[in-house]
Chains A and B, each alone.
Chain A
Amino acid sequence: MPVTDPDRRTEALWARELESILGPGQILASPSARKAYDCDAYTIDKSKPSVVVLPETTEQVRDVVRWCNRNQVPYTPRGAGTGLSGGALAAMGGVLISTKRMTKILEIDLPNRCLRAQAGAVNKRISEAVAHAGLHFAPDPSSQTVSTLGGNIAENSGGPHTLKYGVTVQHVLALTMVDVDGEIVSVGSKVPGGPILDFLGVIVGGEGTLGIVTEAWVRLTPNPARVETVLASFPTVRDATQTVADIIAAGIIPAALEMMDEGIMSAVSLAFGLVYPAGAKALLLIECDGEPDAVAEEMRTVVQICGTHAAMDVAVAADEVERQKLWTARKKGIGAMGRIAPTIVTQDGVIPRSKLPEMLDRISEVASRRGIGIANIFHAGDGNLHPCMYFDDRDPAQVEAAVAAGEEILEVCLELGGSLSGEHGIGVEKISLMERMFGREGLDLMMDVRSIFNPGDLCNPCKVLPSQKGCVEHMRRWRGAAW
């Protein structure tokens, strides 16, 4: 049957051309496929790509980018689609380049402790591939069982253990990418540093807007000889935050230092039957790792500091089973919130650590004024908050209140000297707040830096920076759809 809809006609033509460049089965263009790829884990905004392509090699990505340039079609890279700010959204339609079939681990160099993998390799698989040698890939975003190396590089992903081990940028040595002209380029080296501009440091965290990363050499980190974990409960949030401050001031950098408030505690109690001392208002999960003697010493100090701040219960994990149990509240906290309300939206903001008590007071003030629930679960050690808003999205007034509360919380982060995002990125979600954080001059400089790599408007448009050609209407559309 001939295709009569003019849009569908173009799409059918594009799909045929791209299929001839790639191969049969590497193109998805059916209405259902396009719908399946119309958003990432930031589900408020949706935009269908015209075609989804599934390249298997760097050369195939290059060929797709060249085709897009020839035909002036926008293109957007996508990993596993777990991003929380709409970074993998095909904001202007066009071609969505999925790394789903680029999952190979290409080389393992154990003596130099590094590994080369394709962008679609799943984070967790990288660690599994070198577990036999006692090594791992340190960035551990909570999506790590599905999220990809390419996605981690784009968002400069963190995770609970980045307090000690650093975020993705500290663990990427070199990468292969297809630039916006469709050239393949290798950036960085297996030997870090050196007399060249740190392009690598800008591309990692560039949210996939500076070219398409197809492969990377990553650093491998030795597994710690010993891991010790404690879970402590406190009568007030302030006692817990003061404990965090004192641990850091003592010169201890725990592998993880996570905090959960009353809202999360009651949700996990309900979901998993975990019992916390009556009257406890906050939990701290503290993990130290390293050489056994040093860890034991650090843990003694940590437990002592907890004691000086009225800790009600300090549970030390005796073995791995107990350790996993202590992590339950942290790892399944957000999931447990899902039982309490029809909708949960997790925000992401950062503040200087010392502002935690004030910040938590301000969040609860925003929640009560806006009439929605907010529970807090976060990386306390680096001041990275994840306020978890729970409400009923069938009620447009509540959706509006949640969106407004989220923006208000981020405004407070900025007021306290913090940042709009610690892990999730700007994507399309936070674009309107960027000028508030960086001012016009800061954004102009960022726009110039983007133009070094990507002076046009085809590669992953409408992300990170506001006022790009053709994007204003797009933003209005999703706001309309959300409410």
Chain B
Amino acid sequence: MVSTLLEPRTLEELVDAVRDMGRVEVLGSGSHVAFDVRSRPGCSSLDEWSVALGHPPMLLMHRLNGIVEHHPEDMVVVVRAGTRLTDLQIALAERGQCIPWASPLGDIGTVGGLLSIGLPNGLESMCGGWRDWCLGMTIVRPDGRVARSGSQAVKSVAGYDVHKLMIGARGTLGVIAEVILRTLPLGARPEPRWIATGSLAMSNLRFQRTLATDFSRSLAAVRGMPHVADEATSTLWSVDAELPRFEHDWVMRAGCGSRNLEPFDPVQTGWMRRAKKLLDPEGKLNMGALEAI
């Protein structure tokens, strides 16, 4: 069985697609499906994931790509969400700039996809992460309305930072069409100070972040196994195994389905449900990818 596949190339095509579709799975390039809470062990490719979910209709964002505006003098870039991070980095490098992202896995995925999953990066202690770089967004709402959040100003406290809620929301609350990002001069980009042992693959990856005071115990548990450790943020990239957990820590595991959703307190669970109901009242976007608790 072949599922419905939409690949819009313009904002207008995206609006039409979102407005006219029923339930749909919104994906960047599909490189992070291993972290989907609905996937099954071993699902590391888009095809395997599609089979596991019963061939859902898919909205692939990768053709909605390219830089809309780049203002090197302001160190701000407006980019379409389906742009691959590698392509963005190449284009920015031509003007001596970059997004200070560093991952043991390299520049994988699309900008929109990376924002939607909100993974940590190895320069976070020095340069921040998506939540700090993202200044604004153009969001297509499930009914086709196009809403803008934030601005190109590098500092703003006007209104609610709606775009922050989209970071890590796994495409459940709206479709990110364009993103306004801060850039950094290439010359100011530090080298990651992580310690790497062996090589890692997406299919059985685990992230863990702990308090600084717990990190050595987390590290001890992966001795002899492939891992990358960033001491400055107490972040560990490693293969998934039964590893110690600590108060205040969090983990994300590839191929581990609902184990990635830990129970929250009732008030925040209520907020998550209400967020879904208010922002996607008909339940069209990535149903169950985040709010099913």
Contact = CB atoms under 8 A, between A and B. Distances in A.
A419 interface: yes
Contact of B157 (A155, A202, A379): A155
A428 to B, nearest CB: 14
Contact of A193 (B120, B152, B211): B120
A383 B153 contact: yes
Given A198-B131, A441-B146, A354 B155 contact: no
A382 B211 CA distance: 32
A354 to B, nearest CB: 4
B223 interface: no
Interface stretch (A17-25, A95-103, A182-190): A182-190
B91 to A, nearest CB: 18
Interface stretch (A249-257, A307-315, A399-407): A249-257
Interface stretch (B49-57, B105-113, B263-271): B263-271
A231 B250 CA distance: 46
Given A189-B248, A206-B160, A449-B162, A422 B279 contact: no
A115 to B, nearest CB: 14
A193 B129 contact: yes
B249 A420 contact: no
Contact of A245 (B73, B129, B148, B268): B73
B102 interface: no
Contacts of B145: 441, 444
A354 B250 contact: no
Interface in B232-267: 234, 248-250, 252, 260-262, 264-265, 267
Contact of A384 (B118, B139, B155, B267): B155
A170 B132 contact: yes
B157 A199 contact: no
A350 B153 CA distance: 6
Interface string A248-282: 11111100000000000000000000000000000
Given A419-B151, A437-B151, A425 B157 contact: yes
For chain A, which range describes its interface: under 10, 10 to 19, 20 to 34, or 35 or more residues?
35 or more
Contacts of A16: none
A346 to B, nearest CB: 15
B217 interface: no
A442 interface: yes
Given A199-B271, A352-B74, A418-B153, A112 B213 contact: yes
Interface string B125-165: 00011011000000101000111110111111111111011
A354 B147 CA distance: 26
Contacts of A352: 71, 74, 76, 152-154
A438 B159 contact: yes
Interface stretch (A45-53, A124-132, A450-458): A450-458
B148 A441 contact: yes
A113 B139 contact: no
B267 A452 contact: no
B158 A426 contact: yes
A201 B131 CA distance: 8
Interface in B35-82: 71-76
B193 interface: no
B185 A111 contact: no
A449 B165 contact: yes
B73 A249 contact: yes
B274 A451 contact: yes
Contact of A354 (B71, B186, B248): B71
A217 to B, nearest CB: 10
A383 B155 contact: yes
Interface in A374-391: 379, 382-384
A336 B179 CA distance: 42
A446 B187 CA distance: 37
B148 A434 contact: no
A195 B261 contact: yes
Interface in A360-382: 379, 382
A198 B73 contact: no
A82 interface: no
A205 interface: yes
A455 B169 CA distance: 21
Given A112-B212, A417-B153, A442-B148, A353 B160 contact: no
Contacts of A451: 274, 278
A190 B148 CA distance: 31
A116 interface: no
Contacts of B156: 350, 418-422
Contacts of B168: 195-198
13 contacts: A111-B212, A195-B260, A197-B271, A197-B272, A198-B165, A199-B165, A199-B268, A205-B160, A353-B73, A422-B156, A434-B159, A438-B147, A464-B160
Given A185-B268, A442-B148, A446-B149, 7 more contacts: A167-B155, A185-B267, A194-B250, A201-B131, A250-B187, A352-B71, A437-B151
Interface of A: 111-113, 155-156, 158, 162, 166-167, 169-170, 179, 183, 185-187, 189-199, 201-202, 205-206, 245, 248-253, 350-354, 379, 382-384, 417-426, 430, 434, 437-439, 441-446, 448-453, 455, 464-465
